[in-house]
Amino acid sequence: MRKMSKAAKRQLILQRFLALFPLIVAADGIIAIALGLLLQSWYVAWGAFIAGFYVLPKLFFGGTPKKIENTYAKNWSNVVDSLESPDYVLTEIFGAIGIDIKNKKISVLNVTADKNAKPKVFTASDVEEYGIAAEGYREWDSINASTIDMSRMAMENQRNRAKADMNTGLYFTLDDIHTPKLLACMTVETAERWMKVIEKFLKGDLDAPENKPMHYPEAEPQTS
């Protein structure tokens, strides 16, 4: 089962913190001033203001990694349960993909349009074409921008990056009039590794892992 490493969790919280930096500073300042006036001590106010930069990101975004891991778990279960004997599985935010070597089946889950979507299961013989789909995105440069504009640009960059991620991954063209094309969302680097998996699978040369189902590529280590 895929989980986020401690380093990835810290990086995610930092990214969200920087995107909303002006709002967090404003909230932190209001809280610090209120405490200072209440306790009639500017030392308390300064202490609260400094501590807020540690406490508020945890308070606002601390639950985000857990939500992501819950999404991984849900996508994993949906794909694994859709196959009789799953061997290799990949879970991502926007879906998952799994392979059943024995029964020559592939399961792809794409939740970009519907978070409650069900996996599409098809056979190796249904695959007419497969390849990598990659969509670029515009990233705004915040150099010389004001603090408010930096926050706005950071949020816009996050939205553009998420939109690109929804259209990047491993695509399949199928002999199916209802679902002629399907995308398994993943990074380009991961898609390159799965291209090799699919190639060997379609040729009948893919060996099953010792411990199945196996997350491929293997999940990030849980060390910091």
SS3 annotation, 119-164: CEEEEHHHEEEEEEECCCCCCCCCCCCCHHHHHHHHHHHHHHHHHH
Q: How high is the pLDDT of residue 3?
A: 61
- The CA-based angle 215-218-221, given to 5 degrees, is 130
Q: How far is CA 61 from CA 124, 206, 217, in A?
A: 42, 41, 27
The per-residue pLDDT for 132 is 95
Task: Determine contact, residues 206/197, Cβ cutoff 8 Å.
Answer: yes
List, for the chain, all residue ranges whose pLDDT scores fall below the cut of 70: 1-25, 53-54, 56-64, 136-155, 157-158, 219-224
CATH code of the region 71-215: 2.30.29
pLDDT at 51: 75
Predicted local confidence at residue 221, as pLDDT: 42
State the Cα–Cα distance between residues 98 and 85, nearest whole angstrom: 10
- Give the predicted TM-score (pTM) of the model: 0.70
User: Which ranges in the chain are annotated with CATH 2.30.29?
Assistant: 71-215
